[in-house]
Structure 1
Amino acid sequence: MPEAPRRHIDATTLRGLAHPLRVQLYDALVTFGPATATMLAGRFGESTGSTSYHLRQLAKHGFVEEDPGRGAGRERYWRAYPGGSQLDSYELAEGGSGEAASLVVGELQRAQSARLEHWLSVGYLQVPREWGQATINSTAHLRLLPDELASLGAELTAVLDAWHERVDSREPGADDARIVEVQIHTFPVAAQDVP
């Protein structure tokens, strides 16, 4: 089954995500997989009514959807839209939505940074040694032109997409697999005048 395309976030759909709790809910569904409003309420210390409302708003704007393969009766599981989402901060800023885009990007970055910080401080002590030894913490500095940076990003994304296709059918708890977060940051370094 081909992977769903990445969803382009425009100014209209951004309004559906530009709330700190909605970003957290979306990030949790992307990171940990399908969950109910009750499960997410427990994770974030919110009421089920609040998480239900925000999940419906996320669904209305196409960020999440009901997971038809899970739940029974009134128990409704939600999942992130397959394929993920992407936004162009410059496009949104030019359209007057820069503040909302900054909120979304900032919240997502805080969540990623918190998971990385947890791993580096104590997380590695909470997994068997083979898991810790299989991880990498690497930085590379390259002298690139803008089109080369874009090509690098496309190649890295293609590798991750291929791995998604390879492992997406795994069910939680079916084997020894764990959620593994891959953080790749590509950006120009601020002080580039130094040789």
Structure 2
Amino acid sequence: MSASRPVRRVDRQALQGLAHPLRVQLYDALVSEGAATASELGRRLGESSGSTSYHLRQLERHGFVETDPARGTGRERWWRATEEDLRTRGADFEDDPSAAEAYRILDTEWARSRRGRHESWRASRREWPMPWREAAGESTSHLRLDVEETAELMAEVVALMSSWAERTDGRDGDPRYRSVEVQANVFPNGRPPGVSTD
């Protein structure tokens, strides 16, 4: 097993550098699909390579992406996401309206990206070989938990995903492996405590 991936808690300055719709999409694409050039990302996202290059450099400035030294030539620069797990919490930014808005943009774009990839899988799954269709799945559970148990559950989910990330590190470029996305949302249902149902 490889060493634990570093965890980066996104601070206000880094948040401002990431909280742009195209930057979130670029970062998300590099995390979910691996290294790519600005031109390739531009084609994938419907943007010019000039625009993607500019925003990739901004992401690099804030430490979210880096050049992939194993790929590319003098004129062709390959980008990859830095090897760290990002952690953000909206509660960390609620006392600063500018930071709270930046977090809202980030959160909205990440949710849109997750939904988009899930919808793409659902639309194309009949085109995948049967072993992949049988291996993939969807599950929803409804549990009766208090706030401490909810936090404990979320921590266990994060720890499980981190252990799998460590176990599978270094598989880029091997055609036997695909990027597999695990989406886990842990949240309370219904109205917040103290909010009338009238």
Question: Shared fold by TM > 0.5?
Answer: yes
In structure 1, the partner of 2:175 is: 175
Cα deviation 1:15-58 (Å, max 9, x = unaligned): 11111110100110110011111111111121111111100100
In structure 2, the partner of 1:113 is: 115
State the TM-score, normalizing by the size of structure 2. 0.90
Q: Secondary structure at the match of 2:94?
A: helix
Percent of aligned positions that are identical:
46
Please give the alpha-carbon distance, in whole angstroms, between the structure 2 residues aligned to 1:4 and 1:86: 12
Cα deviation 1:74-97 (Å, max 9, x = unaligned): 221111121221111011122221
Contact 2:5 2:166 in 1 (8 A): no
Contact 2:93 2:100 in 1 (8 A): yes
Q: Secondary structure at the match of 2:50?
A: helix
Matches within 5 A, 1:3-152: 3-96=4-97, 97-120=99-122, 122-152=123-153
Q: Where in structure 1 are there 5+ consecutive unaligned residues?
A: none
Cα deviation 1:114-137 (Å, max 9, x = unaligned): 1112222x2211201111111121
Please give the alpha-carbon distance, in whole angstroms, between the structure 1 residues aligned to 2:112 and 2:76: 30
Please give the alpha-carbon distance, in whole angstroms, between the structure 1 residues aligned to 2:8 and 2:69: 20
Contact 1:3 1:83 in 2 (8 A): no
Mapped pair 1:156 → 2:157 = yes
Once the two structures are overlaid, the 10-residue window that deviates more, 53-62 or 146-155, is 146-155
State the TM-score, normalizing by the size of structure 1. 0.92
Structure 1 position 72, deviation (Å): 2.1
State the aligned residue count: 192
Contact 1:22 1:54 in 2 (8 A): yes
Kindly indicate whether structure 1 or structure 2 has the higher relative contact order, using CA contacts under 8 Å at least 6 residues apart: 2
Please give the alpha-carbon distance, in whole angstroms, between the structure 2 residues aligned to 1:78 and 1:190: 42
Please give the alpha-carbon distance, in whole angstroms, between the structure 1 residues aligned to 2:111 and 2:157: 19
Q: Secondary structure at the match of 2:63?
A: coil
Contact 1:3 1:82 in 2 (8 A): no
Q: Secondary structure at the match of 1:69?
A: coil
Please give the alpha-carbon distance, in whole angstroms, between the structure 2 residues aligned to 1:140 and 1:43: 34
* 1:43 maps to amino acid: R
Q: Where in structure 2 are there 5+ consecutive unaligned residues?
A: none
Contact 2:36 2:80 in 1 (8 A): yes
Structure 1 position 165, deviation (Å): 1.4
